[in-house]
Amino acid sequence: MVTFLQRTFTSLVNAHVGRTQGIKPVRSRSLGRRKKHAAPVNLSLEPIKFMPTILTHAAVPLALGLGLGVRIIPKQLLWAGIVASVIPDLDVLAFRLNIAYSHDLGHRGVTHSVAFALVVALLALAMSQQLRSSRAVAFSFVGLSAVSHSLLDMITNGGLGVALWWPWSSERFFAAWQVIEVSPLSLSRVFSTRGLAVLQSEILWVWLPAALVVTALLALRIIGSNFTFKRDAAQKRVAP
């Protein structure tokens, strides 16, 4: 079991850096120009290597959940959002089934599409009672969390692009602005130059904006509660 998980984790890491056995580079669209995926990187089996990337995908639901508070995003819904932000990368199992990276069922294929995010959102809508939320909030929060995964992948500078519009198109897309370094990390490499560059780009382009979103939402909530308090106090004063 451990060996299987290690292989799966390594497939995930390899996928993010474009290393796939026997798979030719395919072209991905990036704002009208075409680009080949990153050069192969030699990796060993160390599960910890891909963890920062997985954790970074959870930044979006965490920021929204913490910013909006438990009354809007209860704990159960927050966890559903975190799961939705991570599950698209389960498609690395395709490597174990010898499915090509560039195939629709390959990594960054079907599970990274808007259609997949919609299905996940509809599932959340159906489970809104269990998630202690309204249908609209469950659908919106989980759907946004799922699609955020694809959008973050699109601004990484490794692997293939994302099949965003599957099943209407199998074309892989990158954003024109690819700022997040995609690289494996291991405890032994965290303090290497490349490892620090990856951490720096994820902090700068994902975690820092996420912290700003949390701060902005908290400020709005405080302003909103102060306004409500003053309005209620005024109504009490004029009431007979």
Contact pattern for Zn ion over residues 144 through 163, marking x by CB under 5 A: ---------x----------
Residue 114 Cβ vs Zn ion, minimum distance, rounded to whole Å: 14
Q: Which is nearer to Zn ion, 128 or 172 (CB)?
A: 172
Q: Which is nearer to Zn ion, 66 or 112 (CB)?
A: 112
Residue 195 Cβ vs Zn ion, minimum distance, rounded to whole Å: 20
Contact pattern for Zn ion over residues 81 through 100, marking x by CB under 5 A: --------x-----------
Residue 12 Cβ vs Zn ion, minimum distance, rounded to whole Å: 9
Residue 190 Cβ vs Zn ion, minimum distance, rounded to whole Å: 21
Number of amino acids touching Zn ion (CB under 5 A): 2
Q: Which is nearer to Zn ion, 153 or 181 (CB)?
A: 153
Residue 130 Cβ vs Zn ion, minimum distance, rounded to whole Å: 26
Q: How far apart are CA 17 and CA 196, in angstroms?
A: 16
Give residues 26-55 in contact with Zn ion (rule: CB under 5 A).
Answer: none
Q: Which is nearer to Zn ion, 108 or 121 (CB)?
A: 108
Q: Which is nearer to Zn ion, 62 or 172 (CB)?
A: 172
By CB under 5 A, name the binding residues for Zn ion.
89, 153
